[in-house]
Structure 1
Amino acid sequence: MNVSPPPTSCSGLLGPALTPVGAVETFAYDLGGNLSRHVDRKGQVTTYTYDALNRRTSGLYADGSITNFVYDAASRLVAAIDSLGGATENSYDVLDRLNTQSTALGTMAYQYDALGRRTAMTAAGQAPVTYAYDASSRLRTIRQAPLSPVALEYDAAGRRTRLTLPNGVSTDYEYDASARLTALTYHNPLGPLGDLAYTYDRGGNRIRVGGTYSRTLLPGVIDTATYDAANRQLTFGALSLTYDANGNLISDGTTTYSWDARNRPISALTAPASASFVYDGLGRRTSKTINGGRTDFLYDGADIALELTGKTVTPYLRTMNIDEALVRGGNAV
């Protein structure tokens, strides 16, 4: 999405934003400085309400959908109820740590130690995932039966130096004097698999990728590409790309895309294939339907913990870093 940030006006109550392509979007604020109304470049109006403590209690969107937010006496979010994506409910322990999060798909449960570190997570009906740390609170092992543990090692500066997966495949990490990652080397129990090497300029920008894996899965060469004044790509070889007024891609020359009133992709069509998507009140994609086959997702924060396709349950094993999946359905990823 290509969305301009809300501008600051003299009153703080209303501010128009001129975009690179000349369209206008407007933002209105209440007396508490909370964003109360937004009109995007497609003319779609979103309104927000707040309680006396300036907590957002609802968002009403141009398509008529609404998300309501409920808080407890400690101002913790206990429910996000979306008219399209259903309800997400949270419970907390006495130290304000997330204890459970429940949706129609099931419940995620968490445990912590005296230092506030996560020690266990259980995803709806799955074996618990447990976490162990060293004296410096660095994550050292991740376990989920019946898999072998994931092991992590670090250097004296706290940088990760090795990651070993349950199948025995390991990754070694190397750094330069500026703590920039310079190499990744992959091994299995029988020996080396391959490597990646990185080179940087004086400004710290990565300028080269080398190693035996450096060209794996690279796309073919495209001779020509053109862009508009908003830096949107207009052509990709022989294909033409088009966008809506909000900057969302609606066609890439082979696939057409549609977006909801919240600028989220809700469908893709490459005839005869099709896909559609549904989101929860926190903006997470909770289901996809591809050519009639539906998959639902249960989340651990912003990351997928489980996929459910019919009666098939596919769990993920992850670190607690965003988008770092280690095992999917029992297989390393």
Structure 2
Amino acid sequence: MSRRIRSTDATNTGITLYGYDGANQLTQVTDARMVVTSYVIDGLGNLSQTTSADSGVTNSTYDDAGNLTSITDAKQQKTTYKYDALNRPTLITYADGATVAYQYDQGANAIGCLSRITDASGSINYSYDLQGHVTAEIRIIGGVTSTTGYRYDAAGRLSGMTYPSGRTIDYGRDAAGRVTQINTGGGTVSVVSQVLYQPFGPVQSITLGNGRTITRGYDLDGRVTSFGLAAQTMSVNYDAASRITGIADASNTASGMSYGYDVLDRLTNAISPTAGISYAYDTVGNRLQKNNNGSKTAYTYAATSNRLTKKGTQAISSDATGSITNNGSATFNYDARGRMISANTAIGLVQYTINGLGQRVRKVTPTTTTVFHYDLSGKLIAEVTTAAGMSTTQEYVYLGDLPLAAFK
């Protein structure tokens, strides 16, 4: 049947075993530390139970259409899911009573589109144009409303944004549709005045509004071999496995960083001219030791799982699902989704609010409150921090996924 039943890593010491049921479905994996993870598959091929030494027992149920209807974790926290006639999720209910509700087809041009998400943090409303592009994302966080707007050209490409503060971002494109300019302030402030591209797409250089230029060099495999800003250029070296082995100032390579790896591609050392850090691992990839210039820290794991139990002499505590609850310097609390919602630290209690998209939208410390804003792709575009009654805003501008500028 050509099923994999055993794999041995390149060290010849890491052996993983695989078990199957009569339907040729994977039911068990035993790692090199003899820690077992088992799976129960129902008659329709759905994963109904996972038993893990690391995260405990998780049970799942499904409806007749194969949609997931519930998950119960090792803390007996049950999450339920509901769907509409088109199998779109409409309601998620967590064990702590929190819900995430989804509405569709509401408003102009919204047929077949997500219109609203409502959760404990507030809500997100979407508006659309005739082509189905999102034109506005209206978020309510802690009772405060903010709007991010989106504009498109005739080809449906993003031509501009309006941030919650009112800051406008405008994108200029070449004939191939690639961004070549970015302006803000209604076109009065240049963030990027020119972008040049390699023949097959990667960015070759970016000229910033202040006149400085970011450059990138590539090899024949498309790997970045150099990057520079203004007069400084850094070189990047690789080994035959495309792992980075060195990063250095091209004019003074002796000042750079070098990196070493084992045969399993794990980082084993990072060395500068004045310092060095090395790492050691067990057969499944858990870090066993960190050596920072002779100062060694050992890591200890449970005998029957891969949970970290000690860092140096400090005990580490985890809950039934494997989330760390105490690392010696702080304690951590989680919601029914497994998201960290608070930490008791040296500065006091820090609280986090997570929305239905899994984004951290609010952080509260003993002295500050920060609200975070994101764009449609999930990139952080602004954070507003309030302290002693005064608010400050920091906004970020990107070229694709590359952050280029911050405005305060």
TM-score, length basis structure 2: 0.71
| TM-fit CA distance, 1:269 | 1.7
Name the SS for the 1:148 alignment partner: strand
Distance across 1 between alignment mates of 2:195 and 2:99? 43
Name the SS for the 2:216 alignment partner: strand
Give 1:111-260 correspondences, 5 Å limit: 111-145=151-185, 146-150=188-192, 151-187=194-230, 191-192=231-232, 195-211=233-249, 214=257, 221=292, 223-228=296-301, 231-260=306-335
How many residue pairs were aligned? 319
Distance across 1 between alignment mates of 2:337 and 2:93? 10
Alignment pair present for 1:50 and 2:76: no
Q: Which residue of 2 is the match for residue 101 of structure 1?
A: 137
The answer to whether the Cα contact below 8 Å between 2:355 and 2:361 also exists between their aligned partners in 1 is yes
Q: What is the identity percentage for the equivalent residue pairs of Structure 1 and Structure 2?
A: 30
Alignment pair present for 1:28 and 2:103: no
Name the SS for the 2:296 alignment partner: coil
Q: Which moves more between the two structures, 227-236 or 199-208?
A: 227-236
Q: Which residue of 2 is the match for residue 64 of structure 1?
A: 97
Q: Given the superposition, is the C-alpha separation of residues 63 and 237 from structure 1 closer, same or farther in structure 2, using an over 3 Å criterion?
A: same
| TM-fit CA distance, 1:155 | 1.6
5+ residue gaps, structure 2, are: 1-36, 250-254, 258-271, 278-290
**Residue type matched to 1:201 in 2?**
D
Distance across 2 between alignment mates of 1:254 and 1:77? 42
The answer to whether the Cα contact below 8 Å between 1:13 and 1:30 also exists between their aligned partners in 2 is no
The answer to whether the Cα contact below 8 Å between 1:86 and 1:281 also exists between their aligned partners in 2 is no
The answer to whether the Cα contact below 8 Å between 2:51 and 2:57 also exists between their aligned partners in 1 is yes
TM-score, length basis structure 1: 0.86
5+ residue gaps, structure 1, are: none
Distance across 1 between alignment mates of 2:54 and 2:200? 47
The answer to whether the Cα contact below 8 Å between 2:138 and 2:148 also exists between their aligned partners in 1 is yes
Distance across 2 between alignment mates of 1:22 and 1:148? 50
Output one character per residue of 1:75-102: Cα deviation in whole Å (capped at 9) or x when no partner: 21100011x1111100111111111110
The answer to whether the Cα contact below 8 Å between 1:257 and 1:267 also exists between their aligned partners in 2 is yes
| TM-fit CA distance, 1:35 | 0.6
| TM-fit CA distance, 1:279 | 1.8
Output one character per residue of 1:257-307: Cα deviation in whole Å (capped at 9) or x when no partner: 211111111112213433111122222111111224101122212122222
Bigger relative contact order, structure 1 or 2 (CA pairs below 8 A, ≥6 apart):
1
Q: Given the superposition, is the C-alpha separation of residues 21 and 280 from structure 1 closer, same or farther in structure 2, using an over 3 Å criterion?
A: closer
Q: Given the superposition, is the C-alpha separation of residues 204 and 133 from structure 1 closer, same or farther in structure 2, using an over 3 Å criterion?
A: same
Q: Given the superposition, is the C-alpha separation of residues 292 and 218 from structure 1 closer, same or farther in structure 2, using an over 3 Å criterion?
A: farther
Q: Given the superposition, is the C-alpha separation of residues 22 and 64 from structure 1 closer, same or farther in structure 2, using an over 3 Å criterion?
A: closer
Q: Which residue of 1 is the match for residue 380 of structure 2?
A: 304
Distance across 2 between alignment mates of 1:235 and 1:196? 38
The answer to whether the Cα contact below 8 Å between 2:216 and 2:227 also exists between their aligned partners in 1 is yes
Distance across 1 between alignment mates of 2:179 and 2:41? 42
| TM-fit CA distance, 1:12 | 4.1
Q: Which residue of 1 is the match for residue 368 of structure 2?
A: 293
The answer to whether the Cα contact below 8 Å between 2:94 and 2:336 also exists between their aligned partners in 1 is yes
If you compute each CA radius of gyration, which structure gives the higher value, 1 or 2?
Answer: 2
Q: Which residue of 1 is the match for residue 403 of structure 2?
A: 325
| TM-fit CA distance, 1:232 | 4.5
Distance across 2 between alignment mates of 1:114 and 1:309? 37
**Residue type matched to 1:139 in 2?**
V
Q: Which residue of 2 is the match for residue 315 of structure 1?
A: 395
Q: Given the superposition, is the C-alpha separation of residues 96 and 225 from structure 1 closer, same or farther in structure 2, using an over 3 Å criterion?
A: farther
Name the SS for the 1:142 alignment partner: strand
Output one character per residue of 1:38-89: Cα deviation in whole Å (capped at 9) or x when no partner: 011222110000111101000000111111100006221100011x111110
Q: Given the superposition, is the C-alpha separation of residues 225 and 36 from structure 1 closer, same or farther in structure 2, using an over 3 Å criterion?
A: same
Output one character per residue of 1:23-44: Cα deviation in whole Å (capped at 9) or x when no partner: 2111111111111000112221
Name the SS for the 2:80 alignment partner: strand
Distance across 2 between alignment mates of 1:113 and 1:48? 38
Distance across 1 between alignment mates of 2:209 and 2:308? 42
Q: Which moves more between the two structures, 138-147 or 12-21?
A: 12-21
